[in-house]
Amino acid sequence: MAGRSGRTVRDLRRGNRTAVLQRLYFDGPMSRFELAPATGLSGGSISNVVAELVEDGLVEEAGTVESDGGRPRTLLRVAPSGGHMIGVDVGETRVRVELFDLALTELARTERPLEHHGYDVEVVVGHIRDGIAEVLADTDITPEQLLGVGIGVPGIVAPTPEQGAVVHGQTMGWDAVPLESLLRSTCELPDSVPYFIDNGARTLGQAELWFGSGRGSRNAVVVLFGSGIGACLVTEGVEYGRALEWGHVTVRVRGRRCRCGALGCLEAYAGAGALVDRWREAGGRPPEGTDEETALAALLSAAHPAEDAEADPVALAVLEETAEYVGAGLSDLINLFQPERILIGGWAGLQLGPRLLPALRRYADAYALRHPAARVSIELGELGPDAVTVGAASLPLADFFAGGGRRGARGREREREAAQG
């Protein structure tokens, strides 16, 4: 039965369960007494909801705390064993798959390399399939216990009613790849296990917003540096944030050709591969036959060697020029979105960040408008190289919360909406 607002009793119950689960997850452990004002629910509603969640195995006791003059209060928390998620990072050099419990504690992981940036669709799908099977086999978790599989990919992800999530990845040669339907036909998971496929920068932003440097931000931008470059705008009221193809803003007219085919993109100067290429073209000597991570580490070592060694002036000049390009790109984000924070992540960003942060701040200030530039902080992300997989796993977790602790509730709503056009 629907009330005047159009919400049914089932909707209200789900909303109450969601409120309690989220409060316990992000602010717990908490007592029933604390939950009432924190959620805005009555004491009676809290008792009923908590009883349901305990019966469902989603909430458990977590000790006691003394009260003022009364009996000790029982603390509650979300039960880590109440559900499990898989997070997948389809990166530039590897596919990483991790299995988490409900507290996002890692239970198992595996990685499979992508040789020479080979984004062959069958290879990537095979890596995801085999990775999922491996992390499940390494534990006693069954597919039926999964809340879902979250996957972060390069490119633009669009939902379709016929094929689910479709990936448009121009820089990796993916043109409307029906990734979700390919995974459903390949992976040995029940149809009840939902897939959540999204841009890798968005999953990174989600992770930093919930668990990292972005906590408490009303407006932040999380940027991802790897072989490619992306960004995610995180604002209040926008679920998961909004992916930005920031790596393809033009920082130099008629400049270097980017992987996307355009000229002068930021990625053509500050992506890891492009940065190493520029060092080589300027006379540097990157180690031959190594991957980008090793070559980038060599560039940093040449520019900032150990004590008593002379710095390579060519490497220093390339890094300084890179800092100016990136700083100019950051100024665009500052002027357009006026964020409180800009957080730098991705494997290349974490390598470069500690060395380049002072120069990035200096150039961003120089190119941005004074008012928004004075109100933004530019920092490194906190979550390290696993941030994309953590963020990917948080997608089924967010769906689980929205469904009041019931798997796939929001995913089914999205499917209905897509089918209706």
Q: Is the pLDDT of residue 409 over 70?
A: no
Q: How confident is the model at residue 290 (pLDDT cuts 50, 70, 90)?
A: confident
Of 14-28, 249-263, 299-313, 338-352, the poorest mean pLDDT is in 299-313
Of 249-258, 280-289, 366-375, the poorest mean pLDDT is in 280-289
Q: Is the pLDDT of residue 95 over 90?
A: yes
The DSSP secondary-structure symbol of 84 reads E
% of the chain surpassing 90 pLDDT:
55
Q: How confident is the model at residue 93 (pLDDT cuts 50, 70, 90)?
A: confident
pLDDT, averaged across the chain: 87
What pLDDT does 16 receive?
A: 92
Q: Are 368 and 335 in contact (CB under 8 A)?
A: yes
Q: Which residues pair with 157 in a beta bridge?
A: 167
β 164-169/174-177 pair status: antiparallel
What pLDDT does 236 receive?
A: 66
Q: Is the pLDDT of residue 402 over 80?
A: yes
d(Cα 399, Cα 420) in Å, to the nearest integer? Answer: 20
Q: How confident is the model at residue 69 (pLDDT cuts 50, 70, 90)?
A: low
What pLDDT does 173 receive?
A: 84
Q: How confident is the model at residue 1 (pLDDT cuts 50, 70, 90)?
A: very low
Q: Is the pLDDT of residue 360 over 60?
A: yes
Specify the 3-state DSSP secondary structure of 287.
coil
pTM here is 0.83
Q: How confident is the model at residue 134 (pLDDT cuts 50, 70, 90)?
A: very high
pLDDT digits (tens, 9 = 90+) for 194-218: 999 998 888 888 888 888 887 877 8
Q: How confident is the model at residue 155 (pLDDT cuts 50, 70, 90)?
A: confident
Q: Which of 96, 77, 91 is nearest to 154 (CA)?
A: 91
Q: Is the pLDDT of residue 340 over 90?
A: yes
Q: Which helix (H) or strand (E) holds 343?
A: strand 341-345
What pLDDT does 421 receive?
A: 43
Q: How confident is the model at residue 408 (pLDDT cuts 50, 70, 90)?
A: low
Q: Is the pLDDT of residue 149 over 70?
A: yes
Distances (CA, A) of 416 to 148, 198, 406: 18, 19, 17
Q: Is the pLDDT of residue 416 over 50?
A: no
Mean pLDDT along residues 281-309:
86
What pLDDT does 414 receive?
A: 44
Where is pLDDT greater, at 372 or 74?
A: 372
What pLDDT does 307 receive?
A: 74
How many other CB atoms are there within 10 angstroms of residue 109's CB atom?
17
What pLDDT does 6 receive?
A: 59
What pLDDT does 122 receive?
A: 92
d(Cα 318, Cα 200) in Å, to the nearest integer? Answer: 27
Rg (C-alpha) for the chain, rounded Å, is: 23
Of 164-168, 278-282, 305-309, 374-378, the poorest mean pLDDT is in 305-309
pLDDT digits (tens, 9 = 90+) for 160-178: 888 899 999 887 888 899 9
Q: Is the pLDDT of residue 222 over 50?
A: yes
Q: What angle do CA 73, 76, 82 make, to 5 degrees?
A: 160
Q: Is the pLDDT of residue 417 over 50?
A: no
Q: Is the pLDDT of residue 339 over 90?
A: yes
d(Cα 56, Cα 49) in Å, to the nearest integer? Answer: 11
Q: Are 241 and 235 in contact (CB under 8 A)?
A: yes
The amino acid at residue 335 is N
Q: Are 291 and 299 in contact (CB under 8 A)?
A: no
What pLDDT does 75 receive?
A: 92
Q: Is the pLDDT of residue 407 over 80?
A: no
d(Cα 59, Cα 401) in Å, to the nearest integer? Answer: 13
